[in-house]
Structure 1
């Protein structure tokens, strides 16, 4: 090649590379264009609700397995279908024309066959009659003749299916009975002490005499055979109140003060000292366990056929020790059946325990091996009998237990390699950890509804960018019997709506995948760079990025104004490994920010349309704490934030949530991570929103931030919404949030709703 030609070619290559590296021009709309965007966004919000159909199947069970459901169709039309899983048939629930005629005759006005005014219905188990609700009137309709009979109300199915036991709530309390199980005695507390009196009549017998007004006896329960009473000497603590003022109560000229009890981190709990009382000889035995000073009196689980032993669960304050303790009722001695301890936290709300008194076993869900799994415990020998589930994946929930078949029905995520580790799947497994049956297909997020007899299920599955499909399945082998519905989103796509994009990238460690979604404007121009807005909620109690299809959402609505809107689950949130979750421990200010920033950098590397010089974030509650935290602790990345009803200081917010993650006792780390303490660091633009009637996070949490910002001479915007509870400010707050980002990230004056012609947001 000649030198001149070579030089020319080299310059061409350099020019091409330079052009490729040159940033895209920033999206910078004019004000008129912005006003048009607002109008279009409002129109699209309304349109989105009318462009997608058959998004799910909600079965209304009739008998053990048959069901009917309603489909919402275009133009406000409906159809009603009947499914018999045993016969594997699907057909119309009724003749729509005949039903319309029957309804017309009883309501005195014409009913359309494709728009029947049926608000609710009950199909009788024999399938011959349908009870329907027409407003406040109810009728039985004979499905062979369509003759109608007025009835008082819709029937309720009270059939019991005893084989399967639903898992009870985590902290279910004892149900105290006054009369003993053997029907011999009635128990009562008089003058702070325990008395028994014969059921058939006779003088009351005093069983304790050391109860006082400061330490009365209470929370009394019977043993199953009536031989023992379990009772507590209780030191009651009255929770201190928090206050708020309703400023704009109609018909008044003064604000109205409200108060309610509210336990904050560090506040005392009532204490319970456990005693056993032997009915036969009035002996009072102190149980050899420390006074319970955290939570309430525990639920008692008596051993079957052995009424001299029972178990209860105990959580130590600070959430670092969980025990299942067995008590010998004869002498009050105790031993630990389970004793789990950790250097970080135990998330008690995700512990599942199921007692099997007939076999002296316990099903126990724990993260002790670094992942949440099910174990079978031998309660007699206080040992783990066997591991039921294991692997680098997470048991998310236990649906029910079949004691007869010794099977567990559970939900899990992360088992399928190569898919989003948050996708929820359903499984059935034996107590011995064998014969696991997978009931859901890979690649989707699932939601199952079981038939009452647990022989069949309806599964609706989707992803954020794949429309839902609803199928009928069989529990015994997980086989799909029929496709019930496939969502119709043709109008949604034809209208130009963009679906969110799932996206994952490496987190702060360069190894762990962080997952999120990306929403772009429907008229997205790949030759422009758009500001990024992050919808943040880093509460450690769960994970929050959507995994299922939705035709409408605030993120897409906000994107329509000219933003790329993202949501991310960073380290410190739940539903991954224990190590992933532990990042939040005494470290809520972290909020996964290093992972979020790394994720957005990776997104911008792949999609140069993402402008990392204009990044905002918004959130509510814990998300409100996080959004302000982004400006305080990462001002080089985040430039604007909207913070709604944030729990800005973990000493001000509710006790149970904050001590769970920040620990106990209250240490200096609470102060060091407070948005109030760090308010003087504010850089960037901030809008604070608070509802004056917030009963979740005390409003003073936000007011104290405002006070600290004022004292630090910082500039910020503030919106207090009269009468509003715990929210993002409602429709007005959401409108102000959009306006704030339009001004702060796009540099355009938002609509002046006093003068500009603009559709009013619902």
Structure 2
């Protein structure tokens, strides 16, 4: 009896708990067509309201020639603006001029109506005593006396404007080719190719001397570079390989009745490349010497770096095809022998685009950035001995080198993940000595920072924010590291008065149960807390970067989609960049993974915390690699993702561009390429899929989408295909974005979208 009573009691308790849980569970949001129409109208009204409210997230400082002051334009509500001038030493800020008086002065000179609240000045220079300005308004250059506001037309002043956004350190893009001066250092000889051979021609006599004789039209010598002392010429025997073409048809060219065929060269994974075999030519002895090094069959001829004061030796960088080996190689011009100063190898990949080497020839050193210790850091390399010394270290990421100060032996750089208690993706700016000492955080405030410097680097403009925290723009001293003044602090009161919900930053554990996965959540402004809303993921899992927004932005597409009755999220899963090497390595030969295991766990954790999140109705959308991911979600995880919209996707990594795909999928092309292809796996489709492609896409060939569609048809799968005539690499533009929203409304909200045009767009 006691046991039966206990069982009866337990059953009753369980029934009560189950009923209570069912009652607590939110009702799915399932609007009528009329309610969706109303959501469209409210969303459009909110977008309009938000666009009329100015939130200053950054400024462009226009530094004056003295480097002690600058002016900037501040955007105001309703597209109005005002101009300020700032004294850098004190941070004193004041109006640059009387806006109404200057507008009238411009009107008088140009006979054009000018609104003082909407002045547009693109260039402006103050006189030394600040009593007059020379500026450009529209197409006119004017000079105005600020004491009496008399203006007159003038010409552009002979002043070189300083661009604060220009990189301070010159970077060479490895695919950009090799550039050198064909003229000798003493300007007496010119190196040239003649009938496939290296010939030097004397400036005065016109005499020509052949330094090679075995070159041919099929394998000529070329890409010549002189040593600084003029004793040697470095050249290459080149075996050319033509890059194959891809094609597309413009179907709807005005004034024609036939499609127009277009083509362009486009290297795909596995294609052959032009190769370069290095030789040394001794100008005095007229002898040539083959360098004892492998052919360069990836990228072009390399940039050369000669030793300071000793042209016998030079170095060049070599990235092996497949991205698993990087070398800094030194060559002896007398013997042709080589030695490896740096020889980095990895079982996965070396992220070639983020290799950084800066040479200090006077001290026979180089600053080199690598992930060889598991995190991206800078090393000081002795180019004579090959000895490496860490400059930066720790479980955080050096994001980029801002500049190298050779005199002070300091490195200025961007980093993320160093500051405890912060989003590990937040960028901060730092300075450190080559010896790894004297680290200074130039941007200590919590947030994601964007910095520009004054011409002499004594001052910096620091703009920082978080996706849900208002922006601040400050003036700081780089000498002391201290803040001089806050120039702009955004007021969000008008924005919040519209009813908009700011996004939430959400963190959950990855598939390993330890690693934090970071993302953001956007909700409808008028969300009913008692309803459960479908989830839409904005996905881009390309390994070249991280993609979740970190800066404040009042208007974006995710917020716009959320207004229609969705919870929209964006997540950086494993396999994307800017975390540890192990985090990044998940993508290696594994692009189909796309971090889905982490993404799904993240969304389930979100649903566990918020009953308004309905993970039984999940869609996703993306463009380019995101288009590949959006389709991949339906193919490889149909138990979770139900609806996808994929724009201009690279649905098979063998069809897409060589440089991007071999970086992550490796070389040579193996069976894993096909195994992870959306095209190969098309028959697995279970959910509702829309494909969007522009017929003139030159980034990802349109046939990538069309071949995928072909396989879906062969597998008898239902899907929608939107081909947009004349459009390039895009999400489909206004029409495509509208079609995407309708597709989600139909398949996630289970209602017919409003008649096109009725929603007011």
The structure 2 residue matched to 1:656, chosen from 656, 659, 673, is 659
- 1:340-355 residue pairs with structure 2 within 5 A? 340-355=344-359
Q: In structure 2, what is the Cα distance between the partners aligned to 1:363 and 1:260?
A: 38
Q: 5 Å matches for 1:337-736?
A: 337-384=341-388, 386-736=389-739
**CA offset at residue 120 of structure 1?**
4.0
Equivalent of 2:191 in 187, 202, 211: 187
Matched, 1:240 2:244: yes
RMSD: 2.0
Q: 1:226 aligns with which of 223, 230, 241?
A: 230
Which residue among 184, 200, 207 is the counterpart of 1:203? Answer: 207
| Aligned twin of 2:754 | 751
Name the CA shift for 1:217/1:137 in 2 (closer, same or farther; >3 Å): same
Q: Residue deviations 1:477-502, cap 9 Å, x none? A: 21110000011222110011111100
Which TM-score applies when normalising by structure 2?
0.96
Match of 1:312 among 316, 321, 329: 316
Following superposition, the deviation at residue 417 of structure 1 comes to: 1.4
- The residue matched to 2:659 in structure 1 has which SS? helix
**TM-aligned CA deviation for residue 759 of structure 1:** 0.9
Say if 2:91 and 2:475, in contact at 8 Å, map to a contact too. no
- In terms of mean alpha carbon deviation, does 330-339 or 66-75 score higher? 66-75
2:33 to 13, 31, 34: 31
Which piece of structure 1 moves more, 463-472 or 441-450? 441-450
CA 1:190–1:482 in structure 2 vs 1: closer, same or farther (change >3 Å)? same
Deviations 1:337-368, CA, capped at 9 Å, x for gaps? 00000000000111110000000000000000
**3-state DSSP class of the match of 2:117?**
coil
Aligned partners of 2:28, 2:112: CA distance in 1, in Å? 59
Q: CA deviation at 1:103?
A: 1.2
Separation of aligned partners in 2, 1:528 and 1:212: 75
Q: Distance in 2 between matches of 1:88 and 1:621?
A: 45
Quote how far apart the aligned CAs of 1:225 are.
1.4
Q: 1:252 aligns with which of 236, 250, 256?
A: 256
C-alpha distance in 2 between matches for 1:165 and 1:24: 55
Distance across 2 between alignment mates of 1:239 and 1:54? 46
Does 2:58 match 1:88?
Answer: no
- Matching residue of 2:276: 272
Which secondary structure does the structure 1 equivalent of 2:277 belong to?
A: strand
1:55 to 54, 57, 72: 57
Out of 148, 152, 155, the residue aligned to residue 149 of structure 1 is 152
Q: Distance in 2 between matches of 1:140 and 1:108?
A: 16
Question: What corresponds to 1:261 in structure 2?
Answer: 265
Distance, in Å, in 2 between the alignment partners of 1:155 and 1:412 is 38
**Superposition deviation, residue 205 in structure 1:** 1.1
Q: Decide which of 165, 168, 172 is 1:169's aligned counterpart.
A: 172
| 2: CA distance, partners of 1:739 / 1:646 | 20
> Which secondary structure does the structure 2 equivalent of 1:733 belong to?
helix
Task: Check the 8 A contact 1:287/1:327 in 2, yes or no.
Answer: yes
Which secondary structure state, in structure 1, belongs to the residue aligned with residue 362 of structure 2? Answer: coil
Higher alpha-carbon deviation: 28-37 or 667-676: 28-37
Judge conservation of contact 2:411–2:434 (CA < 8 Å) in 1: yes
Quote how far apart the aligned CAs of 1:679 are.
0.1
Indicate the SS of the match to 1:435: coil
Aligned pairs, how many? 750
Q: Check 1:550–1:165 CA distance in 2 against 1; reply closer, same or farther (3 A cut).
A: closer
Partners of 1:213 and 1:173 lie apart in 2 by 20
Selected match of 2:336 from 329, 332, 349:
332
| Deviation of the 1:61 alpha carbon | 1.5
Q: Report the CA distance between 1:109 and its aligned residue.
A: 4.4
Matched, 1:45 2:69: no
User: Deviation at 1:525?
Assistant: 1.0
Distance (Å, rounded) in 1 between the aligned partners of 2:129 and 2:665: 56
**Where do residues 104-183 of structure 1 align in structure 2 (5 Å cutoff)?**
104-123=107-126, 127-153=130-156, 156-157=159-160, 166-171=169-174, 173-183=177-187
Kindly state the Cα deviation for residue 9 of structure 1 after the two structures are TM-superposed: 14
Map Cα deviations across residues 563-599 of structure 1 (whole Å, 9 max, x no partner): 0000000000000000000000000000000000000
Give how far 1:126 is off. Answer: 5.9
Tell me how far 1:510 sits from its aligned partner: 0.6
Measured in 2, the distance between the counterparts of 1:643 and 1:158 equals 43
Residue pair 1:540, 1:584 contacting (<8 A) in 2 also: yes
Question: Quick one: structure 1 residues 336 and 117, their matched pair in 2 at CA, closer, same or farther if it must change by over 3 Å?
Answer: closer
User: Partners of 2:617 and 2:148 in 1: how far apart?
Assistant: 67
SS at match of 1:70: strand
CA distance in 1, matches of 2:551, 2:120: 30
- More divergent stretch after superposition (741-750 vs 55-64): 55-64
TM-score normalized by the length of structure 1: 0.96
Q: CA deviation at 1:149?
A: 3.2
Q: Distance in 2 between matches of 1:125 and 1:273?
A: 57
* Aligned equivalents of 1:466, 1:355: Cα separation in 2: 40
- How far, CA to CA, are the matches of 2:299 and 2:113 in structure 1? 59
Query: 8 Å contact 2:54–2:75 — kept in the other structure?
Result: no
Shift of 1:60: 1.2
Aligned partner of 2:327 in structure 1 is 323
Residues 17-46 of structure 1, C-alpha deviations (whole Å, 9 max, x = no match): 742454211001111111111122122222
SS in 2 for 1:296: coil
Local SS of the residue matching 2:576: coil
> Please, which moves more after superposition, 81-90 or 688-697?
81-90
Q: Which string of whole-angstrom CA distances, capped at 9 and with x for unpartnered residues, describes residues 579-624 of structure 1?
A: 0000000000000000000000100000111101100000000000
> Hey, what's the Cα distance between the residues in 2 that align with 1:462 and 1:165?
24
Q: Using the alignment, how far apart are the partners of 1:424 and 1:517 within structure 2?
A: 17
SS in 1 for 2:329: strand
Contact 1:132 1:154 in 2 (8 A): no
Change in CA separation of 1:623 and 1:155 when aligned onto 2, cut-off 3 Å: farther
Aligned to 1:281: 285
Deviations 1:358-379 (A, max 9, x none): 0000000000000000000011
* Cα 1:212/1:36, change in 2 over 3 Å: same
Q: How far has the Cα of 1:257 moved from its partner? A: 0.5
> Partners of 2:722 and 2:158 in 1: how far apart?
48
Question: Structure 1 residues 193, 526: closer, same or farther in 2, change over 3 A?
Answer: same
Q: How much does 1:152 deviate?
A: 3.5
